Amino acid sequence: MPGAQAAGVPRHIAIVMDGNGRWAKARHRPRSFGHNAGRKAVRAVIEACMREGVQALTLFAFSSENWHRPQDEVGALMDLFLRALDREVEELHGHGVRLRFVGELDAFDQPLRRRMQASMTRTEGNDKLLVNIAVNYGGRWDIVRAARRAAEAVANGELRVDQIDESRLDQWTSLAELPPLDLFIRTGGEYRLSNFLLWQAAYAELYFTDTLWPDFDEACLRRAIEDYARRERRYGRTGEQVATNV
């Protein structure tokens, strides 16, 4: 993981890419048109993160609850993921991006799973920027999975119950080995987490913008990073303690 980034630049950014449907509706187009338009924003944000020296970017592309959408929208999203994987992976690989999918991947059909796996294998040697795509992901699922692993370790006699603590459980969550989540961005004007990265967001700085995802660009990301750089992260301490570093 490259460590060179300017002070005030978040090491790890997560984005709830929201607002595609409303963007399309405003143009009297189907929701899938908005999802498709969102690809440009994904590209812009990846490029901007590389320029800024961000180490990891985690994008919420499909939540565990998004299966409840109309079938044709879910189908259109799956097609879009397939096409995006076919078209974009080589270019991302050329830029030194490492791609990873996080979430319950078993729910996807075989062709999509194969492509996800192939793109992860293809890019696993890259270290310019790690891009995690969260698909069929839910923050509660992530915590439950970690709890199950802990229970298994106890059942196998590898761990005692009193050895389960925050850092141990953290090791079994998604994104465990990455720098802590510094900046959590949500586009589209809603002020909620929608079950994204609940565990990891404990001390992330939250940034909400009304900009709809297809309109989000490099300037928008820079504004979010500038806002982040002005925050005082106190982690429960006082401002004076932080200022004097005691």
Residues labelled as active-site residues: 18, 66
Count of CB atoms within 10 A of residue 179's CB? Answer: 16
Sheet holding 205-208, edge to edge: 97-102, 129-137, 56-63, 12-16, 183-186, 205-208
Q: Residue 54 to residues 8, 20, 48, 129, 216: CA-CA distances in angstroms? A: 10, 25, 9, 7, 17
CB of 63 to ligand IPE, least distance (A): 4
Q: Which does 62 bind (CB under 5 to 8 A by kind): Mg ion, ligand IPE, none?
A: ligand IPE
Nearer to Mg ion, 18 or 142 (CB): 18
Q: Which does 192 bind (CB under 5 to 8 A by kind): ligand IPE, Mg ion, none?
A: ligand IPE
Q: Which residue of 18, 142, 182, 205 would you call a contact of Mg ion, by CB under 5 A?
A: 18
Which residues, other chains included, contact 153 with Cβ-Cβ below 8 Å and sequence gap of 6+?
A: 159
Which residues, other chains included, contact 92 with Cβ-Cβ below 8 Å and sequence gap of 6+?
A: 46, 99, 123, 131
CB of 234 to Mg ion, least distance (A): 31
Q: CA-to-CA distance for 246 and 239, rounded, in angstroms?
A: 11
Q: Which does 119 bind (CB under 5 to 8 A by kind): ligand IPE, Mg ion, none?
A: none
Q: Which does 63 bind (CB under 5 to 8 A by kind): ligand IPE, Mg ion, none?
A: ligand IPE
CB of 22 to Mg ion, least distance (A): 8
Give yes or no for residue 182 binding Mg ion (CB under 5 A): no
Q: Quick one: 178 exposed, middle or buried, by C-beta within 10 A (0-12, 13-18, 19+)? A: middle
Nearer to ligand IPE, 65 or 127 (CB): 65
Which residues, other chains included, contact 35 with Cβ-Cβ below 8 Å and sequence gap of 6+?
A: 20, 24, 76, 77, 80
Q: What's the token pair of residue 86?
A: 């076919």
Judged by CB under 5 A, the number of residues near Mg ion is: 1
Q: Which does 200 bind (CB under 5 to 8 A by kind): ligand IPE, Mg ion, none?
A: none
Nearer to ligand IPE, 62 or 184 (CB): 62
Q: Are residues 103 and 175 in contact, defined by beta-carbon separation less than 8 angstroms?
A: no
CB of 12 to ligand IPE, least distance (A): 18
Nearer to ligand IPE, 5 or 195 (CB): 195
- Which stretches of the chain bind ligand IPE, using CB under 6 A? 16-22, 31, 60-63, 66, 77, 188, 190, 192, 194
Residue closest to Mg ion, measured at CB: 18
* HSE-CB of 103 using CA atoms within 13 angstroms: 26
Residue 215's identity, in one-letter code, is: D
Residue closest to ligand IPE, measured at CB: 21
